[in-house]
Every structure is written in structure tokens, then in C-alpha cells.
Structure 1
């Protein structure tokens, strides 16, 4: 790869982009061969579309996530929604929230924006920090590697939930809570991706094309940018795809514990916090956010596993071999 780049620069021509395009085509072909991953991708795309179109959807319903409707709850029974199935009707497609009468559909779709947005933002922070420190540790001298590796070990050993609870409790409430939750998760939970990137970078350093780039006079960071980062794309994308559902669960847990997103901003974890005492009187108030959270985490996990298989030719080969053996056994 480096020799081709050096030769192309010397000849004043560009590098043939076909290998990269061929790799992308192979990735999409492998991903399309996995039906579960395609279904998961469709579910994730639908959830993202719902989150982005939350204002439009609530406008079609004629509701918003913060307006109280006290006339729609029975105060004599403790705030249970009036009507069948939690007040479901033409004006409130999924019913209303107990005690407050806020529209459940509006809070659910706006909660998707918060939960998915926090998880994606936290994942970006984790990837940026993890890749930067992992590559720096692998390319630095022995002292830099030891220092960054020990620091990463400390971060990995720190209990995420306890540290997040402590940090979220001391930050002023005036700070935007979704942004704060994303930053806290991202700044605490980057250790594992840094260790993966460091190990992969150490392996890539020993390959011939990296040695050729070093002999051609390229600097350390030019080698990292041109030769190592493309080789790190597959493991980083795979791990990032698996980080998103984990971060959604962490955000939901923090909101459930009361230190995450604060009312009136809706999130699925916050809705579960308030629903734990209403599961008998208004079961949809518990089942709707719990079902949305479960479907999102499951779809993202299946999609992440599909991306891992599509990016790893050895895994794809093992799948083909296993499928071939099954067909032979049936024949």
C-alpha cells in the first residue's frame, strides 16, 4: 500500500480507488446476506426516523410532550387515566400519562430523540478519545506507552455507574442534562476501545506496507493517518456499533435512578422511573417505554453483530463453511 502511494506520488498520478470500492461492495454484500442484520437495520432506521420526525408526528396528533391534561385523569383514584386502555383515543394515540395527563405518544417519540441522541453522542466521545490514546500509546516510546496504558487500565477499572452518579450529582442543574449525560458516559467509558485500538495498532505496525512507509521517510503521524487508521476502521466501527446499545442502557439506568435526564424533558429511562408504581393501574405506561428500549437495544445489538461479521472475512468464511456443512448433512 505504501509502495503504491510512493510510486503514484513520484509519477504524479493518483492511486487506483478500486480496492477501496471493492471492499465496500464486499461489505454490503456480506451484510445483505444476513437477514437478521437487515431486519435490525430497518428497525434502527425506523427508530431514527421517528426520533427525527418527532415534532411532525406530534403535530399530526395535535399534542406535545409537556402539556398537562388534568381533566383526563381520575384524581379520586390517584390520577389513573380516564377511559379504556389508559385513555387511548383519536386525540391521544397511546393514551395519557397517569397523574399529569401528558400525552404518551408525544413523550415516547421525543424520548427516542433523547435516548438515541445521548447514546450516539457518548459513542462519538468514546471513539475519539479511545482511538487517539490507543494510537498514541502504540506509536509512542516505552514511557509514553506505559503511562497511557496504566491510565487506561485505571479508567477501565473504574465503576461506570458509581462514577457517573457522582459526577451527575455535583454538576449544577442549569447545565443541559442530555449533553451532560452524554459527556459523562463518554469520558468515563472509553478505556476498552483504547485497549482494542492499541493492540490492533501494535499488530499493524509489524506489517510490510507500514515498514515500507517508514523506510520511505514518512513521519509517525503521517503513517498513522495514511496507513494505520484505515486498518483500524473495521474493529473501531464494529465496537462502536456495539457501544450504542450499551450506552442507551446506561442512559436509561441513570434516568431511572433519578440523576439522568430531568423532567419535563422526556426519556425512556425517566418514563420507566415514574411508571414503576403504575404497572397495575396503567400497564401501558410501563410497557411502552420498556418495549421501545428493548426493541432498540436488541436491534442495535443484532446490527452490531452483523457489521462485525461483514467486516471480518474470516467470520464470513466460517459462516459459509458452516452453512455448507449443514447443506451437505441434509443432502
Structure 2
């Protein structure tokens, strides 16, 4: 058969619509993947709900019972139309306290993650970019804090501060003081990799100063792993606050947190399990949603996992 009689080969058709072409930038590409990841959607929806509860507890506290109002006559009662989650050992409404306790737990987690991300990220950027004595000094200081176990160190700090002065600020200070070295190491490694790339060399050749190179060229390309770790750390900080409050050195009454509620209900758990189960359930769901969110963000921002 001659070549003239061969059927013409049809041109390859595009596999998708022209408008569905994948974007080129890392952040646009990551957002493209996240919008199609059910793990991210579920995790984001859950954490958004918990943040809304913590920001506007009055919208969700529809029982009509004040969280600070307690009546010993109805202590350790079960679920009823007046008390959706029952009452605790002092006759306080568990549902109302769970709703209002979300604020402290989530604020501690968000602020601690933000502080460690900013402080550790800034120091890691300086250490990785300048190197030499700056890197040596910051790395040695970070290693000192790395040698201190997180919970044990936070217990010691809060014990020194004292229970009378314990609150959101002191808990955030204790957690952030011991967690920033991890972010420093991650940012430092990312900056060392990024500063040897061609676009940084080109910026130097064009006369860009150190500040412009760090903020405009290196930081946007090195901050992705810090965002991933900070997202996952959010759940760890929420759990740490609950642990510290449970041990009696964290949030103190009359403030409300899930860890403090669990601590108050543990001695009567067999007799009245609801005051412990509901705050523990909300705490677990919050941490689960953050972990799901962090895993999805990690998968989207890590090119090796594509």
C-alpha cells in the first residue's frame, strides 16, 4: 500500500477546555488543586465553623442559659430541652460553656501559630540569607530552645508566671517561646535553597539590594513550607492549651476553655460523662479539621507530591 492511500491522521484534540489550562504560578496551581480536594473542603468548612463559633458565640448559644450561671439543684443532669448537652458538676449548662470555650482554645491556637510563624520565619530568613555569624548565632540560640521539651518547658514557664497571672497572653507566650525554632529551621533551609536560584542571581546582577531580594524574590518562594507547618501547628497549639489547662497551669476560671472543662469533669466522669465527652469531642474535631487542612495544603504546595 502506498503512502498516498494511507488515511490521514487526525490532529490530536485537547484533553480539556482551553479555559481549563493549569496556571503557571505555584500559588495559583496550589489553589487549583485545593478547590478540587475533598479533604481540604471538609477541613476548611469545619475549621471555618469553629472559628465562627469562637468569634460569634452568641449566634450559636441559642439555649438561652448564661454560661456563667450555675444552679447546684440541676447539677449533673442529662440532656433536656433546657440543657442540650446536660449540666456539669456545678449545674452549669455544658452546651453554653462548650460554645463559649471555643473562643479561648482557638484564639490561643491561632495567635500562637501566627507568632511562631512570623518570628521564626523572619529569623530563618535572616539566617539563611546572610549566613556566616548571623546563621551561627541564630542556629545556636534555636538549639538551646530545641533542647527543652515543649510541654515541660511550658509548664515551667507558666508555673513561674503563677496561676493568678495565667491567661491567654501567658499561654501564648509559653507556647510560642518554645516553638519558633522549628519554623526558623524550616525557613532557613528553604532560603538557602532559594538564594542560589537563577532569578536571585539575576536580581543581584541588576543591582537589587538585600532587602528587595529577600522580600520580593526569596520570601515568596520560600514561605510555602512555613505556611504548611504553621497550619499543622495550629492543631498542636490548641491541644497544648487544653493539656496545660487540664494540668491546672493554663487558663483559669472564670475563663472557659475546653481543657479546663475536661479537667473539671474528670473526677465525676463515671457518674456524669457528658460534661467531659462534649468538650473532648469538640476539641478532637477542631484538631482533626486543622490536620486535614494542613495535609491538603502540604500536598498542594509540595511539587514532589504532584
Fold match (TM-score > 0.5)? yes
Match of 2:51 among 48, 54, 74: 48
SS of equivalent to 1:218: coil
SS of equivalent to 2:270: coil
In structure 2, the residue matched to 1:195 is 185
Give how far 1:166 is off: 1.4
2:166·2:250 contact (CA, 8 Å) conserved in 1? no
In structure 1, the residue matched to 2:120 is 130
- Provide the rounded CA distance (Å) in 2 between the counterparts of 1:89 and 1:313: 52
In structure 2, the residue matched to 1:143 is 133
Equivalences for residues 12-23 of structure 1 within 5 A? 23=26
- Provide the rounded CA distance (Å) in 2 between the counterparts of 1:137 and 1:229: 13
2:187·2:223 contact (CA, 8 Å) conserved in 1? no
1:278·1:285 contact (CA, 8 Å) conserved in 2? no
In structure 1, the residue matched to 2:84 is 93
Match of 2:304 among 311, 314, 318: 314
Runs of 5+ consecutive residues of structure 1 not aligned to the other structure:
1-18, 74-80, 317-331
- Provide the rounded CA distance (Å) in 2 between the counterparts of 1:139 and 1:200: 10
- Provide the rounded CA distance (Å) in 1 between the counterparts of 2:25 and 2:193: 24
- Provide the rounded CA distance (Å) in 2 between the counterparts of 1:174 and 1:302: 36
Equivalences for residues 22-37 of structure 1 within 5 A? 23-37=26-40
Give how far 1:163 is off: 1.6
Equivalences for residues 208-223 of structure 1 within 5 A? 208-223=198-213
1:165 to 2:155 alignment? yes
In structure 2, the residue matched to 1:276 is 266
Q: CA-to-partner distance for each residue in 1:18-38, whole Å, 9 max, x for gaps?
A: x99954442222112221221
- Provide the rounded CA distance (Å) in 2 between the counterparts of 1:289 and 1:190: 28
TM-score norm. by structure 2 comes to 0.88
Runs of 5+ consecutive residues of structure 2 not aligned to the other structure:
1-21
Equivalences for residues 290-301 of structure 1 within 5 A? 290-301=280-291
Q: Taking structure 1 as reference, are residues 203 and 172 closer, same or farther at Cα in structure 2, changes over 3 Å only?
A: same
Q: CA-to-partner distance for each residue in 1:235-274, whole Å, 9 max, x for gaps?
A: 1111111110111111111011100000121111111111
SS of equivalent to 1:255: helix
1:114·1:178 contact (CA, 8 Å) conserved in 2? yes
Question: After the TM superposition, which of the residue ranges 271-280 and 123-132 deviates more from structure 2?
Answer: 271-280
| Cα RMSD, aligned residues only | 1.8
1:168·1:259 contact (CA, 8 Å) conserved in 2? yes
SS of equivalent to 1:189: helix
- Provide the rounded CA distance (Å) in 2 between the counterparts of 1:117 and 1:232: 27
Q: Report the count of equivalent residues.
A: 285
Stretches of 4+ aligned residues off by more than 3 angstroms: 19-25, 172-176
Q: CA-to-partner distance for each residue in 1:146-172, whole Å, 9 max, x for gaps?
A: 111111111122111122111111225
- Provide the rounded CA distance (Å) in 2 between the counterparts of 1:154 and 1:37: 36
2:128·2:135 contact (CA, 8 Å) conserved in 1? yes
